[in-house]
Chains A and B, each alone.
Chain A
Amino acid sequence: DAKTTQPNSMESNEEEPVHLPCNHSTISGTDYIHWYRQLPSQGPEYVIHGLTSNVNNRMASLAIAEDRKSSTLILHRATLRDAAVYYCILRAFKTGANNLFFGTGTRLTVIP
């Protein structure tokens, strides 16, 4: 599975937008970009995923570079409840096993 690179930590002020970057220079054409987050003492939670086009859902937006070698998770207005570790994961679209391989992610701190 292709590898992703994320900053270890980021800070944001409450109610401001947050842009969490992810580099994936070895991404293949069949890899989807997934984002999960893990709140303290909880299991990971699916946030969003995409292939080529930008994606929006109720939790966040995903902006994907034209060459797909990087992407950015956007939280439009950070709240204290968004403080978590955010994981960027590449998953190939294929039948059979589709396991998630987690890196160490980005720890987001939201400042009141």
Chain B
Amino acid sequence: NAGVTQTPKFQVLKTGQSMTLQCAQDMNHEYMSWYRQDPGMGLRLIHYSVGAGITDQGEVPNGYNVSRSTTEDFPLRLLSAAPSQTSVYFCASSYAQGASLYGYTFGSGTRLTVV
């Protein structure tokens, strides 16, 4: 089925460990973004990309890296996990231009716990 696929669905890390959250979409969307959602709060933008090779920071980028080597994939890397990064992470994609005219498609999320 077409959509945004996130892996893994659940992950537990120890403080200081690094890992990569995977995000892939098969809709040929140019625009992809990563959000985090802490308990009882709305989503906050971490990083985004408007096309292959182009990335930029969102509201809360510290502690995270991204790259966009292909249109389909947009991995999020945690460099040195901290308990404050315990959250649910969502990846989303859309058309880059006219994005206000179309809805964003979100993945089902990765629930990350840092101990």
The chain A residues found within 8 Å of chain B, CB to CB, are 32, 34, 36, 41-47, 49, 87, 91-105
Given contacts A99-B45, A102-B43, A104-B41, contact A46 B50 (CB under 8 A): no
Interface of A is mostly: loop
B7 within 8 A of A: no
From 62 to 102 in chain B, residues with beta carbon under 8 angstroms from any chain A beta carbon are: 90, 92, 94, 96-101
- Interface residues of B toward A: which range? 20 to 34
B43–A49 CB distance below 8 A: no
B58 within 8 A of A: yes
Extra A-B contacts (16), CB below 8 Å, given A46-B104, A99-B58, A102-B42: A34-B100, A36-B103, A41-B109, A42-B109, A43-B107, A44-B43, A44-B90, A49-B100, A91-B99, A95-B96, A96-B50, A98-B94, A98-B100, A100-B33, A104-B41, A105-B42
